[in-house]
Every structure is written in C-alpha cells, then in structure tokens.
C-alpha cells in the first residue's frame, strides 16, 4: 500500500485557512484531496442523520476514517498530493471529546502512510468564521489545534508551522519547503 509520490498533509484547527491554502495549491496544478469531515457533515446533515460530530463523534469518526482511506487510495501515485487533514486529525478530535481512540485508527495510519512532515496552520482569529460545518468558537478552535499538534507529534510526524500570510505567500512557503 505504499506509493512513490509524497502524500503531504495540511492540518490545523478549524478556521485556520486550510481550505484557502488547498485551493491555492489546486490553482498551481497540484492534486489536493478535499477535507473529508466537512463533506461528511454536509452529507449526514442532508440525510437527517445523527452521525455528526456534535451528536455521535464515534460514529462520525468511523465514517470519516473510511472515507480518508478511500481518498488515500484514490490519490495519484505518480504526483505530489496534498491532503486537507488526515487520520491524526480524527484521533485529536476523539481525544478532545474524551472518547477512547480505537486501535484501528493507528493501524490505518500505519497502513496508509503520509509524508512525515506535516504543514500545520496556527489558529488565526482575524480570519476565523463560523459556518454550518464549523460550529466551534475560536477558543474551542485553539484547543482543537493544540490537540491536533499533539496527535501528530505522538504519531511520529514533524510539524512545519505555516506562517499567517496571504494565500499566495502560504502556497509559496509550502512549495519552497518541498
């Protein structure tokens, strides 16, 4: 299940500019996998499901994990790929909710490896907005960001802090780094 091209992760707490950064990378022609949790919230809400992170985080996390595996498998193997979040993000959200993390999450992370350097975006109150999929307060986003950083470090990743800059400058930072 390994691939030759690097699979980079872009992570950080809610509202830190990940989607904007991913869109900038797409505009440069890079393959970018969309954020699974946002897509799942939209789908589950449309179905009237209770499998939502604020109702049943275990159910929601299991679905997100399966979709992340699908996304990993569908990513090109011959070109650089950027993922908007990955398996350690699920681990962090479960830990914040004080829900035990099933061993299958760690097994999946071992089976579907990513590049060990992860680009992480800091909380940024100036750009933070709530929407139908982002219900957390900015203060909660800061707590989640800390948990995400810890989860990635605990899983053996190296964090590369992306500065608070424009989309263009953030894209350049990442491309210069790699």
pTM: 0.89
Name the burial class of residue 49, with classes exposed (0-12), middle (13-18) and buried (19+) by CB atoms within 10 angstroms of its CB. Answer: middle
Which CATH number is correct for 7-177, 3.10.20.30, 3.40.50.620, 3.40.50.10300, 3.40.50.300? 3.40.50.300
Rounded to whole angstroms, the Cα distance separating 160 from 16 reads: 14
Per-residue pLDDT tens listing for the chain (178 residues): 444 689 999 999 877 888 889 999 999 999 999 889 889 988 999 999 999 988 999 999 999 999 999 999 999 999 999 999 999 999 999 999 999 999 999 999 999 999 999 999 988 766 656 565 556 677 787 888 899 999 999 999 999 999 999 999 999 999 999 9
| Domain range summary for the chain, segments of one domain joined by + | 7-177
């Amino acid at each position: 299940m390994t691939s030759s091209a690097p699979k980079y992760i872009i992570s950080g707490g809610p509202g830190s500019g990940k989607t904007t950064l991913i869109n900038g990378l797409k505009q440069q022609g890079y393959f970018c996998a969309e954020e699974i949790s946002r897509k799942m919230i939209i789908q589950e809400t449309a179905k009237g499901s209770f499998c939502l992170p604020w109702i049943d985080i275990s159910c929601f996390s299991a679905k997100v994990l399966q979709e992340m595996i699908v996304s990993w498998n569908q990513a090109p193997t011959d070109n650089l790929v950027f993922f908007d979040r990955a398996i350690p993000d699920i681990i962090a959200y479960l830990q914040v909710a004080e829900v035990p993390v099933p061993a299958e999450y760690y097994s999946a992370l071992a089976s579907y490896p990513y590049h060990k350097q992860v680009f992480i975006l800091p909380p940024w109150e100036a750009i933070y907005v709530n929407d139908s999929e982002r219900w957390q307060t900015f203060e909660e986003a800061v707590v989640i960001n800390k948990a995400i950083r810890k989860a990635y470090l605990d899983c053996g990743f190296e964090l590369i802090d992306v500065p608070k800059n424009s989309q263009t400058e953030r894209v350049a930072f990442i491309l210069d780094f790699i």
